[in-house]
Amino acid sequence: MSDQTADVLEASPSPRNFRVVALIIASALFLEQLDATILSTALPTIARDMGEAAADMSIALTAYLLSLAIFVPASSYMADRWGAKNIFRAAIIVFTAGSILSAQATSLDFLVVSRFLQGMGGAMMIPVSKLLLFRSVQRHEMVAAMSWLLLPALMGPILGPPLGGFILAVASWRWIFYINIPVGILGVVLVTLFIDDIREPRPGRFDFYGFALVAAGLSSLMFSLEMLGTSPNTGMALLLGAGGIAAAVIYVWHARRHPEPVLDLDLLKYPTFRLATIAGSLTRITQGAQPFLLALMLQVGLGFSAVHSGLVVMATAIGSISMRLMAPRLLRWFGFRRIMVVNGFFAAGGYAVCAAFRPEWPHGALFGVLLASGFFMSLQFAAYNTIVFDEVPPRKLGSAMGFHSTFQQLMLSAGVCTGAGALHASMWAQGHGVPAMTDFSAAFIVVTTISLAATWWHLKFSADAGATMSGHRPRGEAETAEEAL
C-alpha cells in the first residue's frame, strides 16, 4: 500500500474523533437496521390486516432494497457535491418521512411506495456513512474502525425482533414505523453537532444517462424476479427481465466510454474488489432470504406468536454481534482467505439446518442453531466488507463505496425474491395453498446452495490478501521473518 500514500486525502482526525464519528454514524444505521428487522417480524400480521397472502408480502422488503440499489450510486456524487454532512442529514429526514407514510398504509401498494421512499433515504445514508469513515481512518486502523461502526448498528437486529413482537402484542403494527421518528430526530441533531462536512472540492459531472440505465435495469430485473416467484403473468415477467438485461448491456457499453460512470466497472480490475464482490453477492442471497423465510416459517409454519418469533429470531443478531467482537483477532490469526474458505461452509450450513426445523424441535435448539448461524455469517461479512477495499486507491473510494453498496443491496433484494420464488414453487409443486414446513425447507435449501457456490471464488484469493488490514502473515513469511531476527 506504500505506493498509494500520495493519494491520501486529508489528514485523519485523532483516534477519539474517528470513534465519535463512527458511533454517530452507527446510530443512523441502527435506525435502518431496527426498521428492517421489525418489519420482517410484522409481515404476517400486516398481511392479515391488508387481506394479503403472507408469502406475497416479500415485495414490501424487495421495494426497500431495490430503492437502495437504485439510488446508492448517486449518493457519493451528492456527498461530494453538497457535502457528506448535508446529505447524511437529509437521508435521515427522508427515511423518517418514509416511515411516517408507511405507518399510514392501507394497502400493499401504498406500503410498497412508502417503503421505496424509505429506501431513498437509506440509499443516501449507508454509503455516505461509510465514505465519511473511510476518509477519516488510516488503512491499518480499518478493521478496528469497522468494529466501532458496526457494534451499535448491530443492536438494531437484536432489539428489532423482540421489540416488533412486543409492539404487535400491545398495539397496532403501525407503531413499528412510528418509533423511527424520535430516533430520526436524535440522529439529525447529532449529525448537525458533531459531523464535519467532507466533500471533494471539484466533483465531476454526474452520469445521469448511466444512472437512468442502472435504475431501469435493476428495477426491471428485480420486478421480473419478483413476478416469476409470485405472479402467474410469466410473459410480463420475462419481458421485464429481457428489458433489464438489455439495459445492463447498454450500460456496460456506456461505462466503457464515459470518463466518470455512475458505476465504475474499472474497479473490477482490482482482484480483491472483484472477488469479494462476486463471493459476497452469492452469500448475500442467503442472507437476504433468511429474515423473510424465517419470520414466515416461525409464525405460519410453526404457529409461533409474533412475540415468541421475535425472541427466537433475536438469536441470529446475538450471534452476529458476538462474532463482531472477535472478528479482528480471527482475521489477524488466520487471514482473510482461510477465514472465507472454511467459515463459508459453516455460514451457509447454519442456515441450511433451518430446513430441518420442525414443531417437535426444542425451542432451545432453534435458538442455538440461529445463534451459530448469525455467528458464522457475521464473520463472513466482516471479511467481505473489509477486504473489498484493500487494493482500491483512496481517490476511488467514493466510486468503490457506491459500486459495492449497490451490489450489496441488489443481492439482498435478489435473496428475498429467490426465497419467495422457491417457496411459491414448492407450494405449487406440492399443491399447497398455504406454506407448509416442507415448502420452507425447500426454500432454505435453494438459497443456501447458492451461497455455497461462493467457495470457488474464495479459493481464488491469494494467501496474503488483505494482510495490510488484518495484520496476518502467511506461515512461510512469518517463519522467514523469525529466521531473519
> Are 310 and 368 contacting, i.e. CB atoms less than 8 angstroms apart?
no
Q: What pLDDT, on the 0 to 100 scale, is given for residue 481?
A: 37
Nearest-angstrom CA–CA distance, 351 and 370 = 8
> Are 154 and 324 contacting, i.e. CB atoms less than 8 angstroms apart?
yes
Between helix 306-353 and helix 271-296 the angle, nearest 10°, is 130
Q: How far is CA 133 from the centre of its chain?
A: 18
For residue 223, give the 3-state DSSP assignment: helix
Handedness of CA 17, 273, 280, 75 (dihedral sign): positive
Give tens-digit pLDDT for 89-116: 898 899 999 999 999 998 888 999 999 9
Q: What pLDDT, on the 0 to 100 scale, is given for residue 477?
A: 52
For residue 122, give the 3-state DSSP assignment: helix
Q: Please list the ranges in the chain whose pLDDT falls under 50.
A: 1-16, 478-485
Q: What pLDDT, on the 0 to 100 scale, is given for residue 342?
A: 93
Give tens-digit pLDDT for 81-90: 787 788 888 9
Please state, rounded to an integer, the average pLDDT across all residues of the chain.
Answer: 81
Residues 6+ apart with CB under 8 A from 172: none
H-helix or E-strand spanning residue 141: none
Nearest-angstrom CA–CA distance, 354 and 370 = 8
Nearest to 370 by CA among 438, 290, 453: 290
Q: What pTM was computed for the model?
A: 0.79
Query: Which three cell numbers, joined as nine digits, stand for 101?
Result: 407514510
Q: What pLDDT, on the 0 to 100 scale, is given for residue 254?
A: 92
Q: What pLDDT, on the 0 to 100 scale, is given for residue 376?
A: 92
Nearest-angstrom CA–CA distance, 390 and 376 = 22
Helix/strand/coil percentages in the chain, nearest 5:
80, 0, 20
> Are 263 and 73 contacting, i.e. CB atoms less than 8 angstroms apart?
yes
Residues 6+ apart with CB under 8 A from 57: 43, 44, 46, 47, 108
Exposure of 32 in the CB half-sphere (CA atoms within 13 A): 27
Nearest-angstrom CA–CA distance, 435 and 32 = 29
Render the burial of 404-441: b for 16+ CB within 10 Å, e for the rest. bbbbbbbbbbbbbbbbbbbbbbbbeeeeeeebebbbbb
Q: What pLDDT, on the 0 to 100 scale, is given for residue 370?
A: 92
Nearest to 295 by CA among 272, 311, 319: 311
Torsion of CA 58, 62, 64, 68, to 10 degrees: 160
For residue 317, give the 3-state DSSP assignment: helix
Q: What pLDDT, on the 0 to 100 scale, is given for residue 169?
A: 84
Domain ranges of the chain: 13-195+262-484, 207-261
Give tens-digit pLDDT for 69-82: 888 778 777 877 78
Render the burial of 319-329: b for 16+ CB within 10 Å, e for the rest. bbbebbeebbe
CATH number, domain 13-195+262-484: 1.20.1250.20
